[in-house]
Amino acid sequence: MQNYGIRLRPQFLMMDFEKSMRTAALKVFPFAKLLGCFFHYSQCLWKWAATKGLRAKDHLTETKKLILLMKIIPHLQLEKRKILFDEIKTKFPQHFFRDFLKYWEKNWLSYEIDMENNIEENERLVRTNNIVEIYNNRVRSKINVKHPRMSILVK
Q: What is the pLDDT of residues 100-113, one digit of tens each?
A: 999 999 888 866 55
> What is the number of domains present in the chain?
1
- Name the residue with higher pLDDT: 32 or 35: 32
Instruction: Decide: 130 and 17 in contact? Cβ < 8 Å.
Output: no
Environment class of residue 17 by beta-carbon count within 10 Å: exposed (0-12), middle (13-18) or buried (19+)?
A: middle
Q: Please state the separation of Cα 27 from the chain's center in Å.
A: 19
Q: Where are the beta strands (DSSP E) in the chain?
A: 12-15, 33-36
| Nearest of 80, 45, 75 to residue 63 by alpha carbon | 45
Q: What is the pLDDT of residues 37-94, one digit of tens each?
A: 778 888 889 999 999 999 999 999 999 999 999 988 887 877 888 999 999 999 998 8
For residue 90, give its domain range: 2-154
pTM for this entry:
0.65
Region label for 144, one of left (φ > 0), alpha (ψ between -120 and 50) or beta (otherwise): left
